[in-house]
Amino acid sequence: MSRSPTTNEEDIEARLKNAEPASNRSRMQKDRAFRWLCIAIATVSVLVLVALLTSIVVQGVPVISWTLLSGTPEPEPSEAGMFPALMGTIWICSLCALITLPIGVATAVLLEEFKPRTKVAAWSYSLIQLNISNLAGVPSVVYGILGLTAFVSMFSLFGNATQPGAAVWEWGATYYDQFSNLGSDPFLMMSDEVDERYFLVPVENRTNPPTVPTEGMMAYENSVAGLVPVEVHVADAMGDLPTDPEVLATSIDSAAVPGRISEKAWYYFQLPLGRGVLAGALTLMLVILPVIIISTQEALRAVPSSLRDGALGIGATPWQVVWNVTLPSAIPGIMTGSILAMSRAIGETAPILIIAGIVYIRTSPQHLMDSYTVMPLQIYNWTSRPQDEFHSLAAGGIVILLGILLSFNAVAVLIRHRMQKPLS
């Protein structure tokens, strides 16, 4: 049986009468102790951070050079660079921002500015909000596994999931069968030297059987001016070879089996997405999307309701209120949260390591489906090498990565100060 409110009030009053008041000196001592404890913890944290940054800067700044910024990964530390990783990071983060920001802001506007009117809609909104809050705390490696299934292999809807990247449908690719000239074979020409040349025969479909060499077949040779048409000759490698040097230079073996290569345009697209730039950007989108939604919601809540009421009072529709009043007022908070989320995306390693799967790439991405690497992966690769020179290169890469992160944070602070206005 519950006790009556009157009895509770009597108990509380009795306890207050019997309680001994704490002395003012004791309370002040506890206050000072707590303050010094906070100062000590903050000081230790800052000192550890300063020591780590100082160690990295001292080790990394001397190795920062133009070769490190513009070079490609090489076996020799003195020739190694991280340009492909730098360009991969720019590709991934730019694409991730273009995809994530509209989705995140639109979701936050829907949840905050358009409240549900029915019980079913309210239940759906609550479920979405709960999932967003929980997804913000999921480890990033889990997103990497999710991205591998959802984007790389696309749930095996467009091919075998055990062979991710094997495109079932693609657009923007041209396939060739490549032959090398017979005259460059050192076993046939012995002491004579003939320049090696490659001839490309277009193939309508990548699944077509290999091209059979025929006399007078037209092919293309890749030169500085582009693809130049060339008439090739066919000769039996076991028989008499052509005596004319020009004919010999454009002759191929009658039994040659070509190698199939592809040339992909900048707009190349395929399904499933494979381990390309787009799959990596979509995976990073999963990582930072909850953060952007939550930060945008907080920015929208900070806008005074009097602004909305005033706009509605003069006859504006809810969408006009959002577009002309709420969003412009919340832009500083939205931009700050979004840029800080992008700073997290730049430093993510685990999901990219699962999606990309390759840490040694010498070329920068050329299209959305191209292979790539990013700066955290390149740094990880260098730190795993036994040579101390690579460890110094990794420290230099960390300094460059920190510079990019601090630049993003500086932009966030600048935007906040420039666009922040008093609201009432």
CATH 1.10.3720.10 domain extents, the chain: 66-155+275-420
Alpha carbon distance, N-terminus to C-terminus of the chain? 51
pLDDT at residue 54 tops 60: yes
Mean pLDDT of 346-357: 83
Pick the CATH number of 66-155+275-420 from 3.40.50.360, 1.10.3720.10, 1.20.1250.20, 1.25.40.80: 1.10.3720.10
Phi first, then psi, for residue 361 (nearest 5°) are -130, 135
Q: 115-147, pLDDT tens digit by residue? A: 888 888 889 888 888 888 888 778 888 998 999
Choose among 78, 106, 51: nearest CA to 323: 106
Round to whole Å and give the CA distance between 353 and 364. 17
Read off the DSSP letter of residue 370: S
Between 171 and 242, the higher pLDDT residue: 171
Token reading at 75: 């076996």
pTM: 0.79
* Position 1 confidence tier, pLDDT thresholds 50, 70, 90: very low
Q: Specify the higher pLDDT residue, 306 or 185.
A: 306
Tell me what pLDDT residue 352 has.
87
Instruction: List, for residues 154-182, the tens digit of each pLDDT value.
Output: 887 876 645 545 677 888 888 999 988 87
The token pair that represents 345 in the structure block: 């995306």
Whether pLDDT at 364 is above 50:
yes
Between the CA of residue 2 and those of 10, 14, 173, 398, what are the distances in Å? 15, 19, 78, 64
Assign 328 a pLDDT band (cuts: 50, 70, 90): confident
Q: Looking at residue 358, what is its pLDDT?
A: 65
What digits encode the pLDDT tens for the residues 97-121? 899 999 999 999 999 998 888 888 8
Assess contact for 265 and 367: CB atoms under 8 A: yes
Q: What is the mean pLDDT of the chain?
A: 84
295 Cβ partners below 8 Å, 6+ apart?
Answer: 333, 334, 336, 337, 338, 340, 341
What contacts 109, CB < 8 A, 6 or more positions away? Answer: 296, 300, 322, 326, 327
User: pLDDT-based confidence at 35, cuts 50/70/90?
Assistant: very high
Residues 2 and 8: their CA atoms lie apart, in Å, by 10
The 3-state DSSP class for residue 142 equals: helix
CA angle 252, 254, 255 (to 5 degrees): 110
d(CA 84, CA 397) in angstroms, rounded, equals: 13
Residue 7 is predicted with a pLDDT of: 59
